[in-house]
Amino acid sequence: MDKFLTQLPGLVDEIKSLKEIIITNIVLIGQTPAPTFKEKKRSKIFRERLAEFQVDEVTTDGYRNPIGIVRGTDSSKPPIFVLAHLDTFYEGDQTLNYTIKENTITGAGILDNSIGVGVIASLPLIFKKLDLQFESDIVLAGTIQSIGKGNLRGVRHLLKTWPTPIRGGICVEGIELGRLNYYSDGMIRGEIACSISDERNLLKDYTPNAIIILNEVINEIMNLKTSQRPRSRIVIGKMTGGANHGEIAPEANLGFEIRSDSYKIVKKLYGEIRDVVEGMSHENEVDLNIKTISNLRASRLKYNHPLVKHSAAVIEALGIKPVSRPTESALSIFLSHKIPAVTLGITYGENRYFENATMEIEPMYQGIAQIIGVLKAIDSGVCDEQQLA
């Protein structure tokens, strides 16, 4: 493995020689809309690209996650998974148009996660170009229903129903190059809806404003105590409501997220927020409802796990400084199944959640090289040395 680390920087230019095909895959897949629960068209293109590059098997699992398998040389070795989520935060279902410049590509959803899916679709050709073989089968997967209300259902089903042990996993995200996620916070993402019924308004001397009511809810939430150890926080991330500037809002919605490295704390804070909502509902005589959108339990590899150490070495060999922080991604599902895994970023970019999301092309080749380096590390046995407790 040490010898391969010294060879890794030299692979970047060879990967770059496939620039046109890699960019074609990113753009072709990225310009195909894939809002959560509507990933069918993108799934089809992903499978077609894998078949065109002659992977050994192209299929879908029982939940319609598209999968390509590159057969390894030793059938006794468990498979290694490389996956990216197919769906994007961009909810439109119209055809998207990407703008390609000398060193950037711009378009909605490209950073989350059209790059990741496009790169995974390109890996079979990259393996052939670099004359790479692996002992394990390499399972290349695009998972559906991952973000938001999808609540990672695709990857949950994929790992739960896979018929054999899994040797290790790599979760691929568009940004940022250098990220090395090996632990996940506990998380509950929720929504609070306020609705003012016309019948109640007739009995009052004033008309409540749903936005003002939710503002009071926010104030109460911000008064809740969060801890430094176990660390925890509440993020108010989204608020919508009202029809126009001159009308009192009859409806409004609030999106929030609770994070902590203790899921017990997450549940405790959620219960306190639920109490706030119920109290405000009674006091203001309005309809206030809270619901969970998605949730994750806290999970992690230890910082000295061989996969973490070797992944950091791969990133450093490419001249990049590894950055570790918690993530709320498919990684947590691998770890909850006792499968060693990490999340890696491909390149740099900006405006992640907007229509003018932009990726940098040049760093992408290093990002792809790191995936190959971590794959080789897992295939050499670093995940076999230390099982998760």
Element (H, E) at 104: strand 104-106
pTM to 2 decimals?
A: 0.89
- Domain 186-296 class, CATH top level: alpha beta
Q: Position 119: which residue type?
A: V
CB 281 within 8 A of CB 288: yes
pLDDT digits (tens, 9 = 90+) for 153-211: 999 999 999 999 999 999 999 999 999 999 999 999 999 999 987 655 545 556 789 99
pLDDT digits (tens, 9 = 90+) for 233-258: 999 999 999 988 988 999 999 999 99
148: left (phi over 0), alpha (psi -120 to 50) or beta: left
pLDDT of res. 48: 97
Angle at 256 between CA 250 and CA 257, to 5 degrees: 165
In this structure, what token pair is assigned to residue 104?
């950037």
**Residue keyed to tokens 């791969």:** 314
d(Cα 150, Cα 64) in Å, to the nearest integer? 14
pLDDT digits (tens, 9 = 90+) for 3-27: 788 889 999 999 999 999 999 999 9
Domain boundaries, given as residue ranges, for the chain: 2-184+298-379, 186-296
Question: Could you tell me which CATH number the domain at 2-184+298-379 has?
Answer: 3.40.630.10
